[in-house]
Amino acid sequence: MVQTSVLPSAAIEPSLILLDEKLPGGAYWHNVIKRGNTLRVTDLEGSQGVSLICYNADNPIERLNVADTAKIQFNAFLKKGMVIYSDMGRILFSITEDTSGYHDLICGCSNAASNAAKYGESDYNNSRNNFLKALGKRGLTRKDLMPNINLFSRVAVHPNGDLEYITGCEKPGSFVDLRAEMNVLVVISNCPHVLHPDTVYKPKPIQLTVWRSPAPAPDDLCRTANEEAIRGFINTDALFAQM
């Protein structure tokens, strides 16, 4: 059962907000988050999952690598203090706040076949097609699509390897803050998680807020999490030291 109480929000100073948009269920969104700014994704009504991919906006051949993000941090489920790695060992995003606690790196995204199997023949939007539409507007193609992150999604891995979407963990009002550590092209598809068991297509709206976040402190949780993260930030900062 969805938790209906809205969680307390960490308010953002209005003067720091650069963009604040509601994304309807089934829709997609793409934008460049400048280095040092933060993208907040808020679950407004009890999300069934939000799919996300991202790229180095200055050189999109460098992009999200979910396998390395999980492997380097020994965790396939993202939380506060973790980072999102590119395929070049650099940091795309830091997770500076997270009131959901459930984000999946394993399951991939919905497509036309998975929608048909779950909802029957229809023209409902799916995340694969949404990603391709957004990428086309950025001069990218199908070859640039990679495995994605699923926000607001709790997935259990059983001993036999089976995956199960766990319902009832939705938290309306919960959010995740993603601080850009380079200029990041981010694409979001607000379609239900591919394993969500509901056979009625009813994706929920989310709020997308981009804001000027403070510079990280010397003891920043993400930048000092472990030796691998420190090395990733050294590699990332070195890229901008040359600019």
For 50-96, write each residue's pLDDT tens digit: 999 999 999 999 999 999 999 999 888 899 999 999 999 999 999 99
pLDDT at residue 171 is higher than 50: yes
Residues 222 and 61 sit within 8 Å (Cβ to Cβ):
no
Q: How much is the pLDDT for 5?
A: 38
pLDDT, position 9: 52
Beta carbons within 8 Å of 83's beta carbon, 6+ residues apart: 69, 73, 91, 92, 93, 94, 95, 181, 222, 225, 229, 232
pTM: 0.93
Task: Report, as an integer, the average pLDDT of 217-221.
Answer: 96
**Burial call 157-171: b when 16+ CB within 10 Å, e when fewer:** eeeeeeeebeeebbb
Q: What per-residue confidence (pLDDT) applies to 60?
A: 97
d(CA 182, CA 121): 41
Taking all residues of the chain, what is their mean pLDDT, rounded to a whole number? Answer: 93
Residue 151 has pLDDT above 70, yes or no: yes
Torsion over CA: 116, 207, 187, 216 (sign): negative
CA distances from 189 to 4, 71, 81, 109, 234 (A): 23, 25, 24, 9, 31
